[in-house]
Amino acid sequence: MTSTTEEVTKKPVNMSDFTDVCGRRMWPEARIVGGEKSSFGKWPWQISLRQWRTSTYLHKCGAALLNENWAITAAHCVDNVPPSDLLLRLGEHDLSTEGEPYLHEERRVQIVASHPNFDPRTFEYDLALLRFYEPVQFQPNIIPICVPTEDENFVGRTAYVTGWGRLYEDGPLPSVLQEVSVPVINNSVCETMYRSAGYIEHIPNIFICAGWRKGGFDSCEGDSGGPMVIQREDKRFLLAGIISWGIGCAEPNQPGVYTRISEFRVWINKILQF
């Protein structure tokens, strides 16, 4: 009997308000190495960012849906690319089939707003927002991700990274969206791990690191720009990072390095108003 009263008090989700919808899984109703195939609708904010090559649009990077008009990706994915050469595919799961419970949607890009401080040498401020020509309607396979509302470092939390990137360094691209879980690590620990692998990397707080000391699980080429998400207490997901860089894929002591979204929430929210 208690379950029915709980259901009565649950207020319905306003599907046209991104702040109410964000970070929720609605389906089913109720660069990734060492990862596994995900199931349809599990990561509904994931986007395939495609670039025009000779005669067709090819998958280049990941991106994540922020609201009905905007997506977020890594600036290095769109650096010096005209918006007309970009296409976003939303609600996709298996690139090789059309027979999915809900169809994917495609959107052309009207505006590319890269962070003004983006440095292609260091990958600092590796963030860009993309505005669609037409808004998307949210549906079970197309749901935005929540942006953090406060500073939280997430160290020790489990993060989920998703994408259609290579299955290992120089390996093949998968057709089904891959997912992997990695622990968030402290930036100074991250620097120390890279040092023990022979790399001197400065990793300021605008980055967030995640990975296993022994390697084996990581994002890889083609995953860049995609989301690193963390589940909140209320079971909804928020965007902790955008896949930025790493050295190799899933190597020991070489964690993935992500742009830390909480550091940019003011900039993001300012642009989302447009």
Task: List the one residue out of 164, 154, 178 whose CA is nearest residue 231.
Answer: 154
Task: Give the C-alpha separation, 201 to 248, whole Å.
Answer: 14
Active-site choice (38, 48, 59, 76): 76
Active site (annotated) includes residue 59 = no
Cα 203 from Cα 240, distance rounded (Å): 16
Active site residue 224: yes
Task: Give the pairing type, strands 158-163 and 128-132.
Answer: unpaired
| Both tokens assigned to 46 | 């994931």
Catalytic hit among 38, 114, 219, 224: 224
Q: Which residue in 126, 223, 244, 262 is the catalytic one? A: 126
CA dihedral (26, 32, 36, 41) in degrees, to 10, reads 10
**37 C-beta neighbours (distance < 10 Å), count:** 14
- Cα distance between residue 56 and residue 239, in whole Å: 30
Q: Which residues are catalytic?
A: 76, 126, 224
